[in-house]
Amino acid sequence: MKKSILKAIVLIGLVLVISNSAKAQVGIGTENPTNTLHIKPAGANEDPLRIDNLNEILQGDSGLLVVDPATGVVRYMHMDSIFNYLSVTVDMDNQNEIQNAEEVPLSPALDIDNDGADEVNVQMAIETLAASLPKGTFKSIGDARSAGLTDGESFWADPQGVFGCSGCVVTLHPGMN
């Protein structure tokens, strides 16, 4: 009888030890972790987390990582619930707001793109400027053409591409392939 009680006590102790180790918390920079992974930077102005080589967002991705600034806890937020946490107030009295960029005149009117026609309002100016911005970053002219860029459009040169420069803008012209 005493042997079976002793075996039961040892078995209960073993179960407790195993279940406690299954709930392990790891601390980096702290001896008392409060979460499964708890990272504390060594200095006050150091960034505690860095992740390299992440993939860009893909169609179908549906969430964000958010950080509670009070606790530093990182959580996943589904895109469908983001507006549950935002406070958006819309002022509908129309007293001082301009509702549309087409209503804001450029005075004097400007020919921003030098095509002989003045852009007469902010909307036209924004569209003209946006059309002249580089259309992405590519390693070669062939990559830019494959992405659908045409003559007159420009792109940023990837520093690892054939141009070997950083911050260079390349504008496509006829015959560039």
Model confidence at 174, pLDDT cuts 50, 70, 90, reads very high
Span 59-107, pLDDT tens digits: 777 778 888 888 888 887 887 787 777 776 766 665 555 556 777 777 7
Residue 135 tokens read as 């259309």
Span 20-37, pLDDT tens digits: 555 678 888 888 888 888
- Cα(77)–Cα(62) distance, integer angstroms: 9
- Cα(136)–Cα(20) distance, integer angstroms: 52
Please report the pLDDT score of residue 67 as a whole number: 82
Mean pLDDT of 44-57: 76
Residue 36 tokens read as 């499964």
Which residue, chain included where needed, has tokens 């806890």?
A: 73
Task: Give the β-pairing of 105-110 and 119-121.
Answer: antiparallel
